[in-house]
Amino acid sequence: MTALTLSTAAATGLRADAIVVGVVKGDKGPVVAHGAEAVDKAYDGKLGSVLEALGASGGEGEVTKLPAPSGLKAPVVLAVGLGGEPEKNGSYEGETLRRAAGVAARALTGSKKAAFALPVDDAEDVGAIAEGALLGAYSFDAYKESPKDPKKNGKEPLAEVAILGAKPRDKAHKAAIERALAVAEELNRARDLVNTPPNDLNPESFAAVAQAAAKEHGIKVQVLDEKALEKGGFGGILGVGAGSASAPRLVKLSYKSAKADKHLAFVGKGITYDSGGISLKPAGHNETMKCDMAGAAAVFAAVVSAARLGLEVNVTGWLALAENMPSGSATRPGDVLRMYSGKTVEVLNTDAEGRLVLADAIAKASEETPDAIVDVATLTGAMMLALGARTFGIMANDDAFRGSIHEAAEEVGEPAWPMPLLADLRKGMDSSTADIANMGERMGGGLVAGLFLQEFVGEGITWAHLDIAGPAFNESAPFGYTPKGGTGSAVRTLVRLAERTAAGDLG
């Protein structure tokens, strides 16, 4: 992974392959952002004019490379757009710096070292730049032949980032770097899991990855295999996995702090491949369904991050893992499953399988009476229709808690939007055969799924549901610090929620 250093060295004297500077949109053209004064001076104070001559405007995410003047030891200057200027004497938003660092890191793929002379006013800025650089430098090349061989046009990710203007001996700056490193490493591991093809990632192998990480970071782990699931009566998880040659698993990860007085339970949907089952997905809708375990990957990454950061809150992660396949043993439309909670569910569509595995895991998590449960899932196409491909929906049985999660998402730069749980939609899931059906009205389908899950939350327990179907897997071009493919959506929101809870602000 990309190495990080904090440096007080002047940009002019630092040996690197490139120096990264920020540029903003000014009223009369691009303006060099603070932090890059020495670089601008090397251009005789005319870097903004040079960039304008090259067509740069300072727009967010814009990248311009130009040769460095003789006053710099680095051969290249990379100018990255920050967008509009902040208010007078104002600081840049953390997300602005995070995205700029990500864009720069990606643009410098193949470089050994880059010095980032972006605006740094405090430790939060240091953390944002570090996080953006680490996430932007991500690449997934495990399945490419000699991906790093220059003869085959392969390039290594940017190897080292030196953040200028930071203070190596400052405790807050050092803590910001350590936090960024821990969260980014675990988020990138979640991306790796999402990007791993389903012939190599099944419930058993996913569980093995979780077990190895738990051992490394002092997290207690329990894995329920198919025999334990059957003995425990986990009808939802078993029903979804019934058609696959790869048996399902339920993984419990427990991080405990001796100083904690609050307990969070995170529940992740982990469908390692979703064919739709007997309700088979048509061509064009199943090619990226390896990403249907992104919720479980996010939960896994969040629990490990909490452990690495030593957060003073207890966090339990539940990974509901199964593969949804058609076969002679698969669950059929019309079958009735008896869930872990004791409720019965009439399965009207086997492609609405995520809510079935989540329901069992939520019911199990409820037995420990945590202070709050948050489930994360690539659950419905309806949420993508409502919010697009970059924003996840938040539903909850408590408005204040929903607001707290939304605030946490905004703080870390993850686009999210509060969604309602409309009681009138519940009637559509009435079944003449079972307690409830796994499908309801087509309109408002994302909300219907949330209402279904709410049925399995323990009485009196605060709960929220994050539908990350849109942002979990980026099928378009990379942007900011977000790559093509698995994104690690919701990891940073869950970590921030855990941090806020540790600080006494659960919502």
* Identity at 338, one-letter amino acid code: R
Please give the structure tokens belonging to residue 339.
């869930």
Q: Which parts of 345-425 fold into alpha helices (H)?
A: 354-366, 381-387, 399-412
CB 431: neighbour CB atoms within 10 A? Answer: 16
Q: What pairs with residue 79 in β-bridges?
A: 21, 64
Phi/psi of residue 497, each to 5°? -60, -40
User: Which residues touch 208 (CB under 8 Å, ≥6 apart)?
Assistant: none
How far does Cα 395 stand from its chain's mean position? 18
Q: Determine the straight-line distance between the first and last CA of the chain, rounded to whole angstroms.
A: 35
Catalytic residue among 25, 191, 355, 496: 355
Q: Are 109 and 157 in contact (CB under 8 A)?
A: yes
Q: Are 201 and 30 in contact (CB under 8 A)?
A: no
The closest of 183, 172, 89, 98 to 133, measured between CA atoms, is 98
Catalytic residue among 73, 167, 256, 281: 281
Torsion angle, alpha carbons of 368, 206, 243, 487, to 10: 90
Q: Are strands 462-467 and 372-377 parallel, antiparallel or unpaired?
A: parallel
Strand order, beta sheet including 220-224:
220-224, 249-255, 314-324, 263-274, 372-377, 462-467, 392-396, 416-418
User: How far is the C-alpha of 488 from the C-alpha of 491, rounded, in Å?
Assistant: 6
* Identity at 375, one-letter amino acid code: D
Q: Are strands 344-346 and 436-437 parallel, antiparallel or unpaired?
A: parallel
3-state secondary structure of 112: coil
Note if 112 is an active site residue: no
Note if 355 is an active site residue: yes
Element (H, E) at 222: strand 220-224
Q: Which residues are identified as catalytic?
A: 281, 355
